[in-house]
Amino acid sequence: MEFRDLKKQYQVLKPQIDEEISAVIQSSRFISGPQVARLEQELAEYVGVKHCITCANGTDALTIALMAWNIGEGDAVFVPDFTFFSSGECPAYEGATPVYVDVDANTYNIDPQKLEEAILKVKEEGRLVPKVVVTVDLFGLPADYAKIRPICDKYGLLLLEDGAQGFGGSVNGKLACSFGDISTTSFFPAKPLGCYGDGGAIFTDNDEWADLIRSICVHGKDTSNPNDPNAKYNNIRLGMNSRLDTIQAAVLLPKFHAFKEYELKDVNTVADWYTEALKDTDLVLPLIQEGFWSSWAQYTVQLPENVDRKALQSVLKEKGIPTMVYYAKPMHLQGAFAGTVSAEADCPVTVKLCQTVLSLPMHPYMSREDVEFVVKELKEQLAAA
Ligand SMILES: *Cc1c(COP(=O)(O)O)cnc(C)c1O
C-alpha cells in the first residue's frame, strides 16, 4: 500500500484531469491562463475570504506574506517548535528572529499559554520587537484560534496562519486559511489538496495587502492599472517570480471539486476507522477537540517510550506498510539555527514528540481492509515490544 495514494486518486479523476491539462496545452497559455483566476475565485469563496492569490509554493506564500508586512531584522516571529522547516525558515530568511514555542501534546499545535509566556519574555528582554505569530494547522487540524486571536490582539501582533497542511479543516464551520490576517497554503502533491508539482496560495480579507501580494508575486509590478498591458514592466518594488502555472491550476480544479464533494469526508471516515480500532492500545491518538474538523494531512500517533520506533518501522515496511516520522527534529535544534537566539527555545513537549511520533498511511482512497491490516500488524508489534 502507499502512504498517500496519489495514483489511485488519478485513476478516479483521470478523464477530467487529462482534459483540463490538454486544454491548457492547446491554448498555450501556460502562465496566468484563465484557469488560475478561476481557481483563485473558487478557493476564496470556499475558504470564505475576500482574496486568494496563488503562487509557486507554500514556502513562497509564507515569505510573500512576511514581505507584505515588511518583517525583518529586529522583529520576533513566534513559531511552533513542532512543524515543517518552512514555518521558521521564511521569517529567518527575511532577517527576523523565529522564537520557537512549544506545542500541545495532544493536538500537536502551538500551546496558547506558552505563546503568551514567550511574548512576555521577548518584551521583557527588549532585544526584539514582537511582530507576528505564525500558527500551523499541523496534520490538518486548525490551531486553537479562539485562544490565539485574543493574544495577538492583546499584544498588537499580526497572525499568519500557515495552513499548508490545514486546507479543508475547520472550527465550528469556519474554514482553515481564514483565521490569519494573512493565511497561506501549499499544493505540494502530498498535502490535503495537492497539484502535480509545486504550488501555493495566499488568503486575506485586506485589499491593500492583497494588492501588495499580487505585486510581490510578479517582480513588484505596478498593480494600479490592471488593464494596462505594459504596467507589468513598471516595477515599483522588489518582488519575486512566484506564480502558479496554468497547468497546475487546471489539475487543481477537478481535484478541488473532488476534495469538496467527497475526499474530505472520506478521509475523516478513514481517521474514524483508525481511531476506533486503536483506542484500546497504549498509543496516544490524535485529539480532535469539540467543534474542530481536520483535513487529516497525517494520522499521527505517539508510541509508548519502550517501543523502538526504527525497528517497528522496518518490520512494518517488510509487511508492505509505509510509515513516516513527522517530525524527527524540533525546529530549535535544526542545524540552520545553531548558535542563534532561536536555538535557545525550551520546548520539552516537542522534544518528546520528536522521539515518539509515527504517521500511518492516510488518504481518502484508503480501504477499510488496508486500515485493518495496518492496525493488526501495528498491534502485533506493540504486543511484542
Ligand atoms: C509543506 C509545508 C510548507 C511548505 O510548502 P511547500 O509548498 O512545500 O513550499 C510550509 N509549512 C508547512 C507546515 C508545511 O507542511
pTM over 0.75: yes
> 164 CA to middle of ligand 1, Å?
5
Superfamily of domain 262-384: Aspartate Aminotransferase, domain 1 (3.90.1150.10)
Here the cell at position 349 is 513537549
Atom of ligand 1 nearest to the CA of 86: 10
Here the cell at position 147 is 485562544
Per-residue exposure over 44-71, b if at least 16 CB sit within 10 Å of its own CB, e if not:
bebbebebbbbbbbbbbbbbbbbbbbeb
> 250 CA to middle of ligand 1, Å?
21
> 84 CA to middle of ligand 1, Å?
6
Does 184 sit in the ligand 1 pocket, CB within 6 Å?
no
> Whose CA is closest to 314, among 384, 381, 383?
381
Does 198 sit in the ligand 1 pocket, CB within 6 Å?
yes
User: Which stretch of DSSP H or E encloses residue 225?
Assistant: none
Does 136 sit in the ligand 1 pocket, CB within 6 Å?
yes
**CA distances, 330 to each of 345, 354, 358 (Å):** 10, 7, 15
Does 164 sit in the ligand 1 pocket, CB within 6 Å?
yes
| pLDDT for position 102 | 98
pLDDT tens digit sequence for 76-89: 999 999 999 999 99
**Sign of the alpha-carbon torsion through 173, 275, 358, 82:** positive
Burial class, 233, CB count within 10 angstroms (exposed 0-12 / middle 13-18 / buried 19+): exposed
User: Which stretch of DSSP H or E encloses residue 300?
Assistant: strand 299-302
pLDDT in tens, the chain (385 residues): 999 999 999 999 999 999 999 999 999 999 999 999 999 999 999 999 999 999 999 999 999 999 999 999 999 999 999 999 999 999 999 999 999 999 999 999 999 999 999 999 999 999 999 999 999 999 999 999 999 999 999 999 999 999 999 999 999 999 999 999 999 999 999 999 999 999 999 999 999 999 999 999 999 999 888 788 777 789 999 999 999 999 999 999 999 999 999 999 999 999 999 999 999 999 999 999 999 999 999 999 999 999 999 999 999 999 999 999 999 999 999 999 999 999 999 999 999 999 999 999 999 999 999 999 999 999 999 999 8
| pLDDT for position 231 | 74
Does 87 sit in the ligand 1 pocket, CB within 6 Å?
yes
Does 57 sit in the ligand 1 pocket, CB within 6 Å?
yes
Q: Let me know: does 162 contact 179? Beta carbons within 8 Å.
A: no
| pLDDT for position 375 | 98
| pLDDT for position 162 | 98
User: 6-100+108-256 has which CATH code?
Assistant: 3.40.640.10
Ligand 1: residue whose CA is nearest its atom 10? 86
> 120 CA to middle of ligand 1, Å?
28
> 11 CA to middle of ligand 1, Å?
26
Q: Let me know: does 86 contact 59? Beta carbons within 8 Å.
A: yes
> 343 CA to middle of ligand 1, Å?
21
Strand partners, 185: 201
Phi and psi dihedrals of 158, rounded to 5? -80, 145
| pLDDT for position 230 | 78
Q: For the chain, give every domain's residue range.
A: 6-100+108-256, 262-384
